[in-house]
């Protein structure tokens, strides 16, 4: 919700409910010299946004929450599973050269490395590939498992995790993305990815509600 974009009528409604709540829609309409039907969309918006609450036969009352508090509450309802994207996965025997090509063609910032059982064993970032490219190694002969970040040093998440918690991890670890995993018998299977781009889309969508 855009907490700073309430129109003047909606702000006036909030003032009336703060001062007089609980108050019926009819009484709010009387104070504004408007019909109940005219106010119905504004009351619906304020209630859905969380500024007001309504109880049958009692009326509307102010929740006491600021726009920032309501935004925080809504952010805590966003889960990884609703915003994750398709992961780009490569084999641990893939060459650094082929990994660079894959990253370029798929237009991603992170590659996830799996073993022969399709279980996560490593993560490759742009920085890892750039660092390898600067050296004098033959990139076509250098396997990615030499330069990747290995388990257990991989930051990962599950689809049930809160997006806000994942965002905090990305900030704390100073990384661009992480794999979404599910537990398998002998490790973790990659089922998705969460990146700063996913987070940006989620928070922009939230701000537009």
Neighbours of 129 (CB within 10 A): 22
Give residue-wise pLDDT tens across range 121-157: 999 999 999 988 887 778 898 999 999 999 889 999 9
Give residue-wise pLDDT tens across range 42-60: 898 888 878 888 888 778 8
Q: Is the dihedral of CA 20, 21, 24, 26 positive or negative?
A: positive
Q: Is the dihedral of CA 77, 81, 86, 91 positive or negative?
A: positive
Q: Is the dihedral of CA 70, 75, 77, 82 positive or negative?
A: positive
DSSP track, 15-74: HHHHHH-SB-HHHHHHHHT--HHHHHHHHHHHHHHTSEEEETTTEEEE----HHHHHHHH
Residue with tokens 């969380």: 50
High-pLDDT (> 90) share of the chain, %: 50
150: three-class secondary structure by DSSP: strand
Q: Confidence class of residue 1 from pLDDT cuts 50, 70 and 90?
A: very low
Average pLDDT over residues 101-120: 95
Task: Determine the Cα–Cα distance for residues 82 and 79; give it in Å rounded to an integer.
Answer: 6
């Amino acid at each position: 919700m855009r907490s700073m974009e309430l129109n003047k009528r909606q702000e006036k409604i909030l003032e009336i409910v703060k001062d007089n709540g609980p108050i019926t829609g009819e009484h709010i309409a009387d104070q504004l010299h408007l019909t109940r039907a005219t106010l119905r969309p504004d009351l619906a918006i304020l209630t859905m946004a969380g500024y007001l609450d309504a109880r049958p036969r009692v009326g509307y009352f102010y929740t006491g929450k600021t726009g920032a508090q309501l935004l925080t509450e809504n952010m805590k309802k966003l889960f990884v599973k609703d915003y994750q994207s398709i992961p780009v996965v490569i084999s641990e025997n893939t060459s650094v050269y082929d990994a660079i090509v894959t990253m370029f063609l798929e237009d991603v910032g992170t590659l996830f490395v799996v073993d022969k059982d399709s279980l996560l064993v490593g993560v490759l970032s742009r920085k890892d590939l750039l660092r390898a490219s600067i050296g004098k190694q033959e990139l076509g002969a250098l396997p990615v498992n030499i330069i990747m970040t290995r388990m257990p040093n991989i930051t990962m998440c599950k689809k049930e995790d809160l997006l806000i918690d994942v965002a905090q991890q990305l900030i704390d670890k100073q990384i661009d993305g992480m794999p979404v995993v599910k537990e398998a018998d002998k490790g973790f299977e990659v089922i998705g990815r969460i990146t700063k781009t996913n987070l940006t889309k989620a928070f922009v969508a939230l701000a537009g509600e």
